[in-house]
Structure 1
Amino acid sequence: MKFRRLPFIAGFLVVPVVLYVIFVVSPFVQTIFYSFTDWGGLTDTQNFIGIDNYVRIFSDDIFVGAILHNAFLLVLMPVVTILLALFLAFMLNVGGRGDSAGIRGVRGSGVYKVVLFFPQVLSVAIIVVLFQSVFRTDGRGLLNALLMAVGLVSPNDPVQWFNSPTLVLWCLLAVMVWSGVGFYMVLFSAAMQSIPREIYEAALLDGATRGATFFRITLPLLWENISVAWVYLGFIALDGFALVTGLTPDTGGGGPDHASELISNVLYRTAFTQGKFGLACAMGVALAVFSLLLAIVQLRVTRRDRIEF
């Protein structure tokens, strides 16, 4: 029977596998090939130049700076997002007072979940327009207006949020966290709801504090979800192309003075502005290898024995 089912199963797999090879595997292979050439993108001529493109990108100060900026977001964005999402999920599920019905979330937790998840339904374009108003560099910007109202900023010297080399990455980090924390709050909330309430109630009856229940019960039981979230957030931190392009100054983003350059922005500008597609392919291959290594390391570091309940 098993041998009879093989042709039937293969019949369903042939078309998807062929499409996957054509539209996914083939572009990856072509990109690797072009990364060893001086292809300009608009011609069929590709001269093989070996690893010269890879030597050039890692000796380019702008590209190396972009790697450091991605590393900055890679370290802080997942940590801040996961910590905030865990705190909010814990408060919305088991952070309220206990009563005869057992442990509950804070009052109005259903409304809070909708409000906190709302940024997930917004497109990147809407987020860009929204935070262009929030971080305006005059008195009409939301943040500057608030700081002026409490006397922390002079109306004649507003904060230059995205025009300041020292603030621009922190502003991008804040936008990324704001736009992503709601999704992971819902993800962790769903995982917490699968934990029997009796475990929390027994711990509280034994005298455990809410902090102790979080670190001794909630966190270990949610570790697999946290591990997966960490990988996804790592990939998001390696991208950020649309936010940087829409929010930061200079043509194609990356300003001021390349202070917010990310690998994706340097890659795009190298290919479509400078016409150096071979060099851009080398950047893409380097980014892909870095992403795979990141996922392997993160899954390896965060791997723990599964806890059953």
Structure 2
Amino acid sequence: MQQGKYRFVTGFLIVPVMLYAVFMIWPYVQTFGYSFTNWQGQSQEMSFVGLDNYTALFSDDVFLKALWHNILLLVFLPIATILLALFFAFMVNVGGRGGSGGIRGVRGSGIYKILFFVPHVLSIAILAVLWRAIYRGDVAGLINGVFIKLGLSDPAHPIEWLNDPDLVLWCVAFVLLWWGVGFYLVLFSAAMQSVPREIYEAALLDGASRVQSFFKVTLPLLWDTVQTAWVYLAILAMDCFALISVMTPGNSFGGGPDHNSEVMATYLMRNFLSFGKSGYACAMGVVIMLLTLFLSLVTLRVSRRERIEY
């Protein structure tokens, strides 16, 4: 009977596993193999070059600059997004005044959830076009127009948001933050709603303030959800290809001005499709994959805590 059950399960799994291996695992294996060659992408003619592509990466100033930009996003994006999403989720769920109905969120909390989530419904490409218009470097740009009306900017010299080397990366980071907060607000709200209201009420009866109840009750009970959000945001920070390639200036795939918004994904695609250095681009892809995997494992390891039951 037991042997028949294993055959039955194997019969159902063999086709999905084969499809997954062909369409998911095999491309990774191919990329890893191509990274040791001088493949140019136009044909299957190539020769083995060993670790030359990998050694060239770490003497490539543009790649190192792109790596540094990914690291900056990796530090800023998860911290800022999670902190804001946690704060807003706490306010719309348990941040309102208590009454006869017990602990509840601020007035209009359901509307706030919808408004915050709306940006996440739109695709990244649409958001990039929208924010590129908002960041326009002339008086027609929304931000510049507001600044000029308020007297904070000179109409003759409006701020070149996406052409300023010191501002462009932070402009991109703000869009990613604005886009992501709503999703994680809803995610954390769902987790908070599973926490019994009696726990919050007991904490308030014991004299805990809203800040204390957040750090002593809410955050520990939501830690697993925060850990998952951190991993997903770290993966997003290691990519950002679609937003940067559409939103920022530069020849093919953005990254300008002068590579000041370049990330590893945009530099990879430029080498693969524009420069014909496909083997070199595959080496970048392997490095991105290993870094992302390493960061995910480290995040899960460092943030691991004992599960709290309630």
Task: Give TM class, smaller chain.
Answer: over 0.9
Question: 2:264: which partner in 1?
Answer: 263
Deviations 1:170-228 (A, max 9, x none): 10010000111100000000000011111111111121110000000000000010000
Structure 2: distance between partners of 1:295 and 1:258: 27
Question: 2:180: which partner in 1?
Answer: 180
Question: 1:77: which partner in 2?
Answer: 77
Structure 1: distance between partners of 2:258 and 2:286: 26
Question: 2:134: which partner in 1?
Answer: 134
The amino acid across from 1:270 in the alignment is N
The amino acid across from 1:279 in the alignment is Y
**Residue correspondence of structure 1 range 71-110 to structure 2 within 5 A:** 71-110=71-110
State the SS of the aligned residue for 1:255.
coil
The amino acid across from 1:114 in the alignment is I
Structure 2: distance between partners of 1:63 and 1:131: 26
Structure 1: distance between partners of 2:203 and 2:14: 54
Structure 2: distance between partners of 1:136 and 1:11: 57
Does structure 1 residue 193 correspond to structure 2 residue 181?
A: no
Structure 1: distance between partners of 2:119 and 2:274: 32
Q: Percent identity?
A: 56
Question: 1:253: which partner in 2?
Answer: 254
Q: May I ask how many residue pairs the two structures share in their alignment?
A: 309
Residue 60 of structure 1 and its aligned partner are, at CA, apart by 0.1
Structure 2: distance between partners of 1:126 and 1:284: 26
Question: 1:308: which partner in 2?
Answer: 309
Structure 1: distance between partners of 2:275 and 2:93: 52
Structure 2: distance between partners of 1:44 and 1:197: 63
| Bigger Cα displacement from structure 2, 69-78 vs 124-133 | 124-133
Structure 2: distance between partners of 1:99 and 1:15: 57
Residue 45 of structure 1 and its aligned partner are, at CA, apart by 1.3
| Bigger Cα displacement from structure 2, 140-149 vs 266-275 | 140-149
Does structure 1 residue 44 correspond to structure 2 residue 39?
A: no
TM-score (norm 1): 0.99
Question: 1:57: which partner in 2?
Answer: 57
Deviations 1:128-177 (A, max 9, x none): 12101211111121111111121111111111111000001110010000
Question: 1:285: which partner in 2?
Answer: 286
Deviations 1:68-126 (A, max 9, x none): 00000000000000000000000000000000000110000001100100011101121
Residue 241 of structure 1 and its aligned partner are, at CA, apart by 0.6
Question: 1:8: which partner in 2?
Answer: 8
Question: 1:276: which partner in 2?
Answer: 277
| Bigger Cα displacement from structure 2, 94-103 vs 145-154 | 145-154
**Residue correspondence of structure 1 range 15-34 to structure 2 within 5 A:** 15-34=15-34
Question: 1:235: which partner in 2?
Answer: 235
The amino acid across from 1:2 in the alignment is Q
Structure 1: distance between partners of 2:309 and 2:8: 38
Structure 2: distance between partners of 1:138 and 1:42: 41
The amino acid across from 1:33 in the alignment is G
**Residue correspondence of structure 1 range 139-178 to structure 2 within 5 A:** 139-178=139-178
Q: CA RMSD for the aligned pairs?
A: 0.7
Structure 2: distance between partners of 1:29 and 1:257: 33
TM-score (norm 2): 0.98
State the SS of the aligned residue for 2:176.
helix
| Bigger Cα displacement from structure 2, 100-109 vs 20-29 | 20-29
**Alignment gaps of 5+ in structure 2:** none
Does structure 1 residue 211 correspond to structure 2 residue 211?
A: yes
State the SS of the aligned residue for 2:50.
coil
Question: 2:35: which partner in 1?
Answer: 35
Question: 1:111: which partner in 2?
Answer: 111
